[in-house]
Amino acid sequence: MSDTENSKTSRFSVVEIIEGFIEKIDHMRKTLVMVSLSSLILAPLAIGLSVYLISHPHFFYVMEEYDEFGLFLVVSLGVIIVVSSAWLALGIRQYIMLKSWSERHSNYLKKKEQVDNEISSGFGLDKDEQS
């Protein structure tokens, strides 16, 4: 194998590695979008349920009647509200970041396709595919 063929092979393999890396990142992006969407759905649900329980008329009765359980319930609901609020804020932030990455990724794919077409037409490769 000559040096020219070896460099073409190594360059082609580097391009394949980069393409594979970008595909894996895109797959992870799709998974993270699902996670952020779940936070946009589940966090408000948890906050709403906690607020409903705190504002329920029997809540204060439970706090007075069952001392330790009432204290545990107040602390638990407070923690749920704080954690769910943070989860919601992070989910919104993550969704915005992933949306901008998605736009950049689609621009990359368009430019890649354009360059591939230019190279194919420059070397007459597109005529071979049609025959």
Q: What is the pLDDT along the chain (131 residues), one digit of tens a residue?
A: 555 555 556 656 777 888 888 888 888 888 888 888 888 899 999 999 999 998 988 888 888 888 788 888 889 999 999 999 999 999 899 888 888 887 887 888 888 888 888 887 877 766 545 54
Residue 43 in any domain: the answer is yes
Residue 57 in any domain: the answer is yes
| Angle at which helices 57-65 and 67-122 cross, to 10° | 130
Residue 89 in any domain: the answer is yes
Total-model pTM: 0.63
- What does the pLDDT read at residue 32? 86
- What does the pLDDT read at residue 126? 61
- What does the pLDDT read at residue 131? 46
Q: Residue 89: which domain range?
A: 3-100
Residue 39 in any domain: the answer is yes
- What does the pLDDT read at residue 8? 56
75 backbone φψ class: left, alpha, beta (φ>0; ψ -120 to 50)? alpha
| Cβ atoms of 74 and 63 closer than 8 Å | yes
Per the structure, the count of domains in the chain is: 1
- Tell me which amino acid residue 40 is: L
Residue 22 in any domain: the answer is yes
Contacts of residue 39, Cβ cutoff 8 Å, sequence gap at least 6: 87, 88, 90, 91, 94
Residue 107 in any domain: the answer is no
| Cβ atoms of 32 and 105 closer than 8 Å | no
| Cβ atoms of 51 and 81 closer than 8 Å | yes
Residue 105 in any domain: the answer is no
Contacts of residue 53, Cβ cutoff 8 Å, sequence gap at least 6: 59, 73, 77
